[in-house]
């Protein structure tokens, strides 16, 4: 009987009622920097995103909803369309669910524009 009670307690403790579905883990702390004119004279803008259990804002939901491929750089020999999407650059650094993260974004070709679009809900919050 005691074994069943212990099992029931463990199952209930693991249900995660305090952790909204899709929210990044408590160890998510990111600095999002967007430079609208690339290396131009305007200063980059920053947004700090901290996601704790019990406090989940819209930026945390944007992070949780980004597909994993958005964080991955374009492969070195990837064939991309030669389209210039603008001078904007962005960088996301910090920890994502406890893992170190550094991701750079630009709009210098079709592949980078596609990645930017995946991250757009988060990057657009900085502007």
Please report, for the chain, the start and end positions of each structural domain, with discontinuous segments joined by +: 28-73+83-127
Supply the DSSP string of 73-95, one letter for each residue: PPPTT---------S-EEEEEEE
Predicted confidence band at 68 (pLDDT cuts at 50, 70, 90)? confident
CATH architecture of 28-73+83-127: 2-Layer Sandwich (3.30)
Cα 30 to chain centroid, rounded? 8
Token pair, residue 116, equals 């930017």
- Mean pLDDT across the chain: 81
Report pLDDT digits (tens) over 103-126.
999 999 999 999 999 999 999 999
- Strand 45-51: give its sheet, edge to edge: 45-51, 28-35, 89-96, 99-106
Tell me the whole-structure pTM to 2 decimals. Answer: 0.75
Token pair, residue 61, equals 């939901």
For the residues 52-69, what does the mean pLDDT come to?
Answer: 84
């Amino acid at each position: 009987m005691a074994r069943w009670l212990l099992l029931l307690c463990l199952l209930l403790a693991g249900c995660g009622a305090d952790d909204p579905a899709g929210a990044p883990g408590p160890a998510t702390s990111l600095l999002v920097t967007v430079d609208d004119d690339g290396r131009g004279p305007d200063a980059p803008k920053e947004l700090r995103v901290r996601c704790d259990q019990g406090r989940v804002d819209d930026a945390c939901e944007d992070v949780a909803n980004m597909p994993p491929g958005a964080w991955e750089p374009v492969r070195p020999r990837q064939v991309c369309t030669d389209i210039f999407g603008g001078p904007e650059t962005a960088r996301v650094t910090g920890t994502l669910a406890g893992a170190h993260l550094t991701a750079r974004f630009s709009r210098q070709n079709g592949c980078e524009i596609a990645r930017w679009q995946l991250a757009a809900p988060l990057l657009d919050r900085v502007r």
